[in-house]
Amino acid sequence: MTEPIQTHYRTCNLCEAMCGIKIEHRGNEILSIKGDEDDPFSKGHICPKATALQDIYEDPDRLKYPVRRTVDGWEEISWDDAFDEVVENLTAIQAKYGRDAVGIYQGNPNVHNLGTMLFSPPFVRTLRTKNRFSATSSDQLPHHFAAFFMFGHQLLLPVPDVDRTDFFLILGANPIASNGSIMTAGGIGNRLKDLQRRGGKFVVIDPRYTETAKRADAHHFIKPGTDALLLLAMICTVFEEDLVDLGRLEPFLTQLDTLQDAVKDFSPESVASVTGISAETIRELTREFTNAKTAVAYGRIGLSTQAYGGVCNWLINSLNILTGNFDEAGGAMFTRPAFDLVGITSLTGQVGNYDRWRSRVRDLPAFGGELPSSVMAEEMLTEGDGQIKAIVTVAGNPVLSASNGEQLDQAFESLDFMVSIDIYINETTRHANIILPPTTGLETEHYDLVFHYLAIRNTAKYSPALFDKDDNQRHDYEILSELRARMDAKNPRPTRGKDWFKRLSPRKFVDMMLRTGPYGAWLYPPVEGQGINIHTLDNNPHGVDLGALVPMLPDRLVTDDRKIHLAPDILVKDLDRVRDDLLEKSSAQADGYDLHLIGRRHLRSNNSWMHNSRRLVRGKNRCTVMMHPDDAEQRQIDSGDMVTVKSRVGEVYVEAEVTDQIMSGVVSIPHGWGHHREGIQMEVASEYAGVSVNDLTDDQRIDQLTGNAAFNGVPVLIFK
């Protein structure tokens, strides 16, 4: 008898957009994946990535059971043997060399998975190492840095209220391709159309004429790495032309005079030649922004992954605050999520920290309990006390996603032991001694802890697993819990209070946090007849709409004085570096490297493992180096030519794409490619190998203030 066709509703967790999807299936056979029109947040929007959920589930290259690397290749082993070998090696190395001899790296997919989000922190604490790294310092640390010093909590990240703004200024971001980033906005294209239909406008500042720029009311090219100067000039204009409007924020603002004094030397006229944007344009843009009924400035990867990322994010917040567009409808606002990460961590004092310890080799400060990922390779390769001898990687591929991938390749190869929690044998995990593969995607339950928190509207949604795992598979939280238990058994230490991670499953943990949260069944008035708990979400498989963002200040602030710090000393001091590097040394070339490299994002790509989905990589070659016709003509390069791109740390051989959609002097290569390395077992990705932009990015190029990698603006040269 043929099984009936069934429908499953869930959130796609392959990027930040939280799009609701509808999956039709017959038993374990997926028949279709479509957008869920009844999802109150995404309203039926879907992008091509969602279909990859099926590809991952069915991928013959995906690991399901532990494997061990041997001289004869990979062999499957039991979970008990794998756990025994991992714990024995990690504890032995720490006993011989010290706790910091074991490092851990957590990749971007961790924040997209409920199990790792909840259960990796207690496992990391069990390792008791200072050598902690993650993708945070590759793409978003400046956001957290500015939030910590301005608002008192590293997770107090304001998001643009896109649905109600009249003027949207987008700097170094391409939400049409990314679906939003540090701005969860399913169906952002439709939201931007709605903005224009209601008489508003949006403007894009970017060195490339991006997919978002093509839809914008205006686009301005800017030289990579000079966004801080543009923002300084706009704030200078706000003060000069008496455009400051603090509104109701004035009673809980400090350091306004300090900020005004700090920006006074950065007039539009003084920065125009460096940024490539005229003084007249900067002043007119500032006036448009301040004269709009509501407005919001938003910056992302182009600003965060440059040498002045911390300053840029501080200045964006300041521009929104000074113009009355902060914590107000249509401006930059804080969310009120049902699972309230900020509320919980504020109560427990886990608001963030800075410079509690430093890296051994380069003496860079830790932020939020992690060291910059750019120092990871040198901490493995440099001999001496505290050298990393073993590492744990969790859902990460830093060989392709962190600076100087070739050096990381060498570093991982040099280790005494390595274990990876991952579903693929990829460019990084091929170096592991043991790989522990978790279930993934459709086999897991899901609640977006991070992206509900970053959403442009308050919603809540729980997705149960669609398919059961088999008896010999393990969920990510089961792997992390077992490793933690065995590590603790080897090195017992006292615990304080109840250990909820030993008592609760992810589902029960979410239920407890929902019940005690701002819409919870225990504390607050009911929503649609009952308070929010896990059963509420079970009964609403499309999700629950909790309303538009609402003003949260001053109650949401966690600074000691419960005020916004407009001009933190550590950020103001960094303006000396901005002034010295950009205004006084801007004409100098970097040892003959006459072009500047930036990255780019594509709608059908996010993390490197998505390149093992044929439907996401087929078609025209996307891994090209974009360059302006003038730069190509000088080098006698035509579209389709194979060219060498060289930086201080390496070189790649890649197809040229000549286009006027990038400014002269700038070239662009997308991230996540480079699947040519020996030993990976990802058939489709190897067929569409491309080159890794991170074989060119320089581990020594960072934002000196925050430690974030400076991927954008890397000096390169190109030749045939």
- Please give the pLDDT value at position 287: 98
pLDDT in tens, 164-182: 999 999 999 999 999 889 9
Residue in 249, 235, 409 with CA at minimum distance from that of residue 325:
249
Domain ranges in the chain are: 67-140+343-441, 161-335+556-577, 589-719
Pick the CATH number of 67-140+343-441 from 3.40.50.740, 3.40.50.1370, 1.20.1050.10, 3.50.50.60: 3.40.50.740
Residue in 380, 374, 472 with CA at minimum distance from that of residue 418:
380
The CATH class given to the 589-719 domain equals mainly beta
Mean pLDDT, range 24-34, rounded to an integer = 94
How would you classify residue 378: left for phi > 0, otherwise alpha for psi between -120 and 50, otherwise beta? alpha
DSSP SS3 for 552? coil
pLDDT in tens, 390-419: 999 999 999 999 999 999 999 999 999 999
Separation in Å, CA 633 to CA 636, 639, 718: 5, 11, 12
**Contact call for residues 227 and 171 (beta carbons, < 8 A):** yes
- Please give the pLDDT value at position 347: 82
Report the chain's terminal Cα–Cα distance, integer Å: 63
- Please give the pLDDT value at position 494: 66
Q: Locate tokens 């686009």: which residue?
A: 219
- Please give the pLDDT value at position 524: 47
Mean pLDDT, range 426-436, rounded to an integer = 98
Mean pLDDT, range 69-90, rounded to an integer = 97
Residues 565 and 145: their CA atoms lie apart, in Å, by 13
Cα-flanking dihedrals φ and ψ of residue 296, to 5°?
A: -150, 135
Structure tokens at 256: 């306004």
Residues 378 and 360: their CA atoms lie apart, in Å, by 9
Residue in 720, 532, 580, 711 with CA at minimum distance from that of residue 637:
720
pLDDT of residue 589 exceeding 60, the answer is no
- Please give the pLDDT value at position 306: 97
Q: Are strands 417-421 and 434-436 parallel, antiparallel or unpaired?
A: parallel
Instruction: Give the number of other CB atoms < 10 A from CB of residue 77.
Output: 15
pLDDT of residue 498 exceeding 90, the answer is no
CA Rg value for the chain: 25
Residues 42 and 185: their CA atoms lie apart, in Å, by 8
- Please give the pLDDT value at position 495: 64
DSSP SS3 for 561? coil
Structure tokens at 322: 């000074």
Structure tokens at 55: 């590809």
Mean pLDDT, range 508-522, rounded to an integer = 87
Residue in 603, 689, 590 with CA at minimum distance from that of residue 646:
590
Residue in 211, 397, 228, 222 with CA at minimum distance from that of residue 306:
228
- Please give the pLDDT value at position 1: 63
Residues 649 and 621: their CA atoms lie apart, in Å, by 25
Quickly state the pLDDT bin for 603 (edges 50, 70, 90). confident
Q: For the stretch 353-372, what's the b/e string if a residue is b when 16 or more beta carbons lie within 10 angstroms of its beta carbon?
A: eeeeeebbbbebbbbbbbbb
For the ranges 183-197, 309-323, 460-474, 601-615, the lowest mean pLDDT is seen at: 601-615
What is the pTM assigned to this prediction?
0.96
Residue in 63, 58, 3, 66 with CA at minimum distance from that of residue 33:
58
pLDDT in tens, 93-114: 999 999 999 999 999 999 999 9
Mean pLDDT, range 471-479, rounded to an integer = 96
Structure tokens at 653: 């051989």
pLDDT in tens, 182-221: 999 989 999 999 999 999 999 999 999 999 999 999 999 9
Structure tokens at 569: 């000393």
Quickly state the pLDDT bin for 588 (edges 50, 70, 90). very low
Residues 192 and 163: their CA atoms lie apart, in Å, by 8
Pick the CATH number of 161-335+556-577 from 3.30.465.10, 3.40.228.10, 3.65.10.10, 2.40.50.100: 3.40.228.10
Residues 233 and 214: their CA atoms lie apart, in Å, by 25
Mean pLDDT, range 362-371, rounded to an integer = 97
Quickly state the pLDDT bin for 305 (edges 50, 70, 90). very high
Mean pLDDT, the chain, integer: 94
Which residues 6+ apart lie within 8 Å of 447 measured at CB? 114, 339, 461, 462, 463, 506, 510, 537
Which residues 6+ apart lie within 8 Å of 332 measured at CB? 158, 159, 160, 161, 296, 297, 298, 317, 320, 325, 326
pLDDT of residue 587 exceeding 80, the answer is no
- Please give the pLDDT value at position 479: 97
Q: What is the 3-state secondary structure (H, E, C) of 257-284?
A: HHHHHHHCCCCHHHHHHHHCCCHHHHHH
pLDDT of residue 499 exceeding 80, the answer is no
Could you give the percent of the chain with pLDDT greater than 90? 89
Quickly state the pLDDT bin for 529 (edges 50, 70, 90). very low
- Please give the pLDDT value at position 490: 85
